[in-house]
Chains A and B, each alone.
Chain A
Amino acid sequence: MDFILASVIDGLLLGFVYGVAAMGLTLIWGVMNVINLSHGPIIALGMFGVYLIFGAFSLNPYVAILIVAVLGLVLGVAIYYVAVQRVINAPHLSTLLATFSVNMIIIGLGTAIFSASPRNVEFSLGSLTLGPITLLGTRVVAAFAAMLVAGALYLFLYRTRYGRYIRAVANNRDAAELMGVPSNRILALSFGLGTMLAAIAGGLIATFFPFTILAGGAYELKSFVIGVLGGLGNPIGALFGGLILGVLEGIIPTFMPTTWVPVVEFLLFVLILLVRPQGLFGAKS
Chain B
Amino acid sequence: MSENKVAAPAKKLRFMPQLAGRPYLGLSLTLAVIVIMILWPLVTGKDITRETVFTILLSVTLASSLNILLGYTGYVSFGHVVFFGLGGYVGFYLLAIQGWSLWMAMLAGGLSSALLAYLLGRAILRLRGAYFALATIGINEAMRAFINNFKPFGGPIGMTLNFQVYRDYGGASQALWMVFYTMGALTLLAVTVSFFVRTSKFGLGLLAIREDEDAAEVMGVVAPKAKTWAYVLSAIFPGIIGVLFFFKNGSIEPAPAFRLHFSIETIVMVMLGGQGTVLGPVVGSGLYQGIRGYLLTSAIFKNIQLAVAGGLLLLIVLFVPDGVIGWLRHRFPFLRRVLQ
Contact = CB atoms under 8 A, between A and B. Distances in A.
Contact of A112 (B130, B268, B304): B304
B138 A224 contact: yes
Scoring B138, B142, B148 by chain A CB atoms within 10 A of each residue's CB, the highest score goes to B138
Closest 4 CB pairs of A and B: A108-B307, A104-B310, A108-B306, A266-B142
Interface of B: 70, 74, 76, 78, 123-124, 126-127, 129-131, 133-135, 137-139, 141-142, 145-146, 148-149, 156, 264, 267-268, 271, 275, 303-311, 313-314, 317-318, 321
B78 A96 contact: yes
A224 B78 CA distance: 14
Contacts of A106: 307
B227 to A, nearest CB: 15
Contacts of B74: 91
B149 A257 contact: yes
B145 A270 contact: no
Interface in A211-248: 221, 224-225, 228, 232
A265 B146 CA distance: 11
A197 to B, nearest CB: 19
Given A96-B78, A103-B310, A109 B123 contact: no
Contact of B138 (A93, A94, A270): A270
Interface centre among B133, B139, B308, B318 (most CB of A within 10 A): B318
Name the prevailing secondary structure of the A interface residues. helix
Contact of B139 (A90, A101, A257, A270): A270
Nearest to A85: B318
A100 B261 CA distance: 10
A226 to B, nearest CB: 12
B262 to A, nearest CB: 13
A93 B156 CA distance: 32
Contacts of A35: 130, 133-134
Most-contacted residue by chain A among B133, B134, B137, B148 (CB, 10 A): B134
Interface in A35-87: 35, 82-83, 86-87
Interface in A259-280: 259-260, 262-263, 265-267, 269-270, 273-274, 277
Interface residues of A, number: 45
Contacts of B314: 82-83, 98, 101-102, 105
A274 B121 CA distance: 12
Interface of A: 29, 33, 35, 82-83, 86-87, 90-94, 96-98, 100-109, 111-112, 221, 224-225, 228, 232, 257, 259-260, 262-263, 265-267, 269-270, 273-274, 277
B124 A98 contact: no
Given A92-B133, A221-B141, A259-B145, 7 more contacts: A33-B130, A97-B271, A101-B314, A228-B134, A259-B148, A262-B141, A274-B123
A263 B155 CA distance: 13
B311 A101 contact: yes
A273 B138 contact: yes
Given A263-B145, A270-B124, A273-B138, A111 B318 contact: no
Given A108-B309, A267-B142, A259 B70 contact: no
B124 A87 contact: no
Nearest to B149: A259
B317 A94 contact: yes
A98 B313 CA distance: 8
Contacts of B156: 259
Contacts of B135: 270, 273-274
A97 B139 contact: no
